[in-house]
Amino acid sequence: MLKKLLFLGILAISISTQAQKEKVLKLPSFDKPLFHYGFYLGANNNGYKVSYKPSNFSNPEIEVESSFGFNVGLIADLRLHNNINLRFEPGLMSNTKTLRFKHIAGAENVTTREVGATYLHLPLILKFSTNRLNNVRPYVLGGASYDHNFSSNERNSDDNFAGEFRTTTNNFMYEVGIGIDIYLSYFKFSPSIRGVFAINNEVKYDNKPNSAWTDPIDFLGTRGVFLHLAFE
């Protein structure tokens, strides 16, 4: 019993000492201005959500293999309230996905398409933060974006019969996430994890009817995860 009390006492002293050290606030006036700016870097792992509709092809199956890509952009932040900020985060988002059409060629000789995507990502985001706790401040966020896909091939006359899987150029997405603001000596570092979800159908259907590549698809939309590292 004495050992337990001694351990708890040492632990309490340690926590109290650490708390005293953390009371020195870094960047104490950072959140007071109406506007501030920054930039972000990050990585993404984006795939597609695929749903099917009735067609001439029984048991359609499209397997999506996602890959890691990158994000980079700028931040403009408007303080609406002590705990609410409106953010505009224009940037570029790039990655590649591989689609395997198992219902076309079977398991031994699967037909594949590689779909590259480079988006101009224009999100408008609401950030809801807790009160600051020493030099950290957790938050949640949510918003919507317009995404222009430079790699879509939407206007290309060649379709899957010529080896081109086409997607739409103009897309809309929403994103949600959680993160934490960490106040350092010279800047604020804000890592967050975000999920991004397409609102519209991104597939551009083939020119010929009854295409095995696109006719079974009812909805194909980006779905992925971001690791977002902001410097403000």
149-163 confidence digits (pLDDT tens): 998 888 888 888 888
Which of 78, 193, 182 lies closest to 132 in space, CA to CA?
Answer: 182
pTM confidence score? 0.82
pLDDT of residue 9 exceeding 70, the answer is no
Between 219 and 12, the more confident residue is 219
Q: What is the pLDDT of residue 28?
A: 87
165 phi/psi in degrees, rounded to 5:
-95, 120
Q: What is the pLDDT of residue 130?
A: 94
175-227 per-position pLDDT tens digit = 999 999 999 999 999 999 999 999 999 999 999 888 889 999 999 999 999 99
Between 18 and 60, the more confident residue is 60
CA-atom Rg of the chain in angstroms: 24
CA distance 167 to 149: 8
Domain extents in the chain: 27-231
CA distance 150 to 73: 16
For the domain spanning 27-231, the CATH number is 2.40.160.20
pLDDT of residue 142 exceeding 70, the answer is yes
82-117 per-position pLDDT tens digit = 999 999 999 999 999 999 988 886 545 568 888 988
